[in-house]
A and B are shown apart, each in its own frame.
Chain A
Amino acid sequence: DVKVTQSSRYLVKRTGEKVFLECVQDMDHENMFWYRQDPGLGLRLIYFSYDVKMKEKGDIPEGYSVSREKKERFSLILESASTNQTSMYLCASSNNGAGGEQYFGPGTRLTVT
């Protein structure tokens, strides 16, 4: 079974703090993704990566950066957390096969106070 793990299930941070969210997948997938999920808005793509050291902006990259130094690990960084970044953050991975279905981690619920 594909396993995608995220470093924290719940996180509380203060405004202005630098926040690191880490994601690890164990299936040698080429592609990794970071989404945020907010009620009524569904999932919105923040950043994604097709390969090690490669990154592409998604639909809402402002206020975020990412790092992919190893194939299995994809980190999301909030340089200076703000209250409007309070959300559920979901990591996913997929391979380049015909289906390309994404496999998701359990999510990190981040609260910025």
Chain B
Amino acid sequence: AQSVAQPEDQVNVAEGNPLTVKCTYSVSGNPYLFWYVQYPNRGLQFLLKYITGDNLVKGSYGFEAEFNKSQTSFHLKKPSALVSDSALYFCAVRGTGFQKLVFGTGTRLLVSP
């Protein structure tokens, strides 16, 4: 069975500092991994995905994520946080051949001025 864990309910960071939002996963076979962002009262927006290739994936709004197979992790990162990055972030995984995504419970990112 596929599963995703986001161990932090909330991450607090000061504007200009680097940020990391953690995600670990469990899936049989090769994973397809995704990050989404949700702003208040909005649907989820796709940020980036890992399918194969380079372990460092670059996405929208300056975000990137690092795939680590040995640690089964896919942490979201940004070198310099903005107040406007404050939102709810979801990690998701699916296995090869499956179209269903399994989502984590979400991590709220709060960037203070």
Contact = CB atoms under 8 A, between A and B. Distances in A.
B83 interface: no
Contact of A99 (B36, B41, B51): B51
Given A99-B49, A99-B51, A104-B44, A40 B105 contact: yes
Interface of B: 32, 34, 36, 41-46, 49, 51, 90, 94, 99-101, 103-106
A2 to B, nearest CB: 9
A104 B90 CA distance: 13
Interface in A94-113: 94, 96, 98-107, 109
B39 to A, nearest CB: 10
A50 interface: yes
B4 to A, nearest CB: 8
A50 B99 contact: yes
B90 A101 contact: no
A104 B99 contact: no
A100 B99 contact: yes
Contacts of A9: 41
A33 B104 CA distance: 17
Interface of A: 4, 9, 31, 33, 40-43, 45, 48, 50, 58, 90, 92, 94, 96, 98-107, 109
Contacts of B41: 9, 107, 109
Contacts of B90: 42-43
A48 B46 contact: no
A43 to B, nearest CB: 4
26 contacts: A31-B99, A33-B100, A41-B105, A42-B105, A42-B106, A48-B99, A48-B100, A50-B99, A90-B43, A90-B44, A94-B99, A96-B99, A98-B51, A99-B49, A100-B32, A100-B99, A101-B49, A102-B46, A104-B43, A104-B44, A104-B45, A106-B42, A106-B43, A107-B41, A107-B42, A109-B41
B53 to A, nearest CB: 11
Given A40-B105, A48-B99, A58-B100, A99 B32 contact: yes
Contacts of A33: 100
B105 A102 contact: no
